[in-house]
């Protein structure tokens, strides 16, 4: 049985705990949750919550899951990998920083641990990665989310979210920049970049779309293998519309694959 640690107790983290407790994440056991202030969770299972980082990383965890934002990847990624734990990253956009990515890769190699990036909000990454064995002409991502998903982001500087009536493009460029501009909303562009042609060659368009109610991502790939077009529509989380329920589900499926005798979609 794998011992699991979780960093963060927001919408994604709470859903992950739910699925683990329901036995839907494979042969795993949640051992600890790292939070900023343990006293905030006195009504929860108190012995699961840690605000002492040294104590958390000394638990001998097999897998540590980051579900707390880009800052947590910077702060805890190397420590997690150096402790011998595999590190599952939800906030993949942080890896647009080449220095951070190299640091984490080095830590993983030196400590026989792995960086695990789940599909999360998109699909088809196995096909994208396989297509890289030959030439690829274009990889493009088009992300559209309703106005509620963009509150508290720089989108508010570009468009009035209360009055927008038609789809409005708030960004057109490449994944390296979009990952930094929209850290909670375009982690998908970072994941796609790592599976495919990289942050500087992956084209990205981002829209505020008042005509939809679901977070929508479309992937377009053209190359030696042929053509690929994938569209997903994710129901936003009720507690955090910037993300969808599928993110926690994808992370738990990745955990399940670690202990399953059959692995599908690699």
Write the CB contacts of 172 (distance below 8 Å, at least 6 apart in sequence): 204, 205, 206
CA 187 to chain centre: 6
Residues with a catalytic annotation lie at 217
CB-CB neighbours of 159 under 10 Å: 17
How many angstroms separate the CA atoms of 166 and 181, rounded?
22
**Among candidate residues 170, 197, 167, the one with its CA nearest the CA of residue 186:** 170
What does residue 30 show for φ and ψ, rounded to 5 degrees?
A: -75, 120
Cβ count within 10 A of residue 63: 22
Distances in whole angstroms, Cα of residue 12 to Cα of each of 120, 157, 165, 206: 11, 27, 30, 22
Neighbours of 151 (CB within 10 A): 12
Q: Tell me if 3 sits within 8 A of 32, measured CB to CB.
A: no
The encoded tokens of residue 123 equal 């699909």
């Amino acid at each position: 049985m794998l011992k699991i640690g979780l960093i963060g107790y927001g919408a994604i983290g709470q859903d992950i705990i739910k699925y683990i407790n329901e036995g839907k994440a494979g042969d795993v056991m949640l051992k600890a949750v790292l939070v900023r202030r343990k006293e905030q969770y006195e009504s929860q299972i108190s012995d699961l919550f840690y605000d002492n980082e040294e104590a958390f990383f000394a638990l001998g965890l097999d897998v540590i899951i980051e579900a707390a934002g880009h800052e947590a990847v910077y702060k805890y990624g190397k420590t997690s990998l150096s402790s011998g734990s595999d590190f599952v990253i939800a906030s993949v956009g942080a890896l647009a920083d080449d220095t951070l990515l190299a640091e984490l890769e080095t830590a993983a190699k030196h400590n026989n641990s792995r960086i695990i990036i789940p599909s999360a909000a998109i699909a088809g990454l196995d096909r994208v990665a396989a297509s890289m064995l030959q030439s690829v002409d274009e990889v493009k991502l088009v992300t559209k989310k309703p106005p509620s998903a963009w509150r508290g982001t720089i989108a508010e500087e570009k468009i009035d979210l209360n009055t927008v009536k038609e789809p409005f493009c708030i960004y057109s460029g490449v994944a390296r920049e979009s990952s930094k501009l929209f850290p909670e909303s375009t982690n998908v562009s970072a994941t796609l970049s790592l599976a495919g042609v990289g942050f500087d060659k992956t084209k990205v368009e981002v829209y505020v779309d008042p005509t939809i109610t679901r977070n929508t991502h479309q992937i377009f790939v053209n190359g030696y293998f042929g053509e690929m077009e994938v569209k997903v529509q994710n129901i936003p989380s009720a507690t955090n519309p910037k993300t969808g329920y599928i993110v926690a589900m994808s992370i738990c499926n990745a955990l399940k694959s670690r202990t399953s005798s059959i692995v599908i979609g690699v």
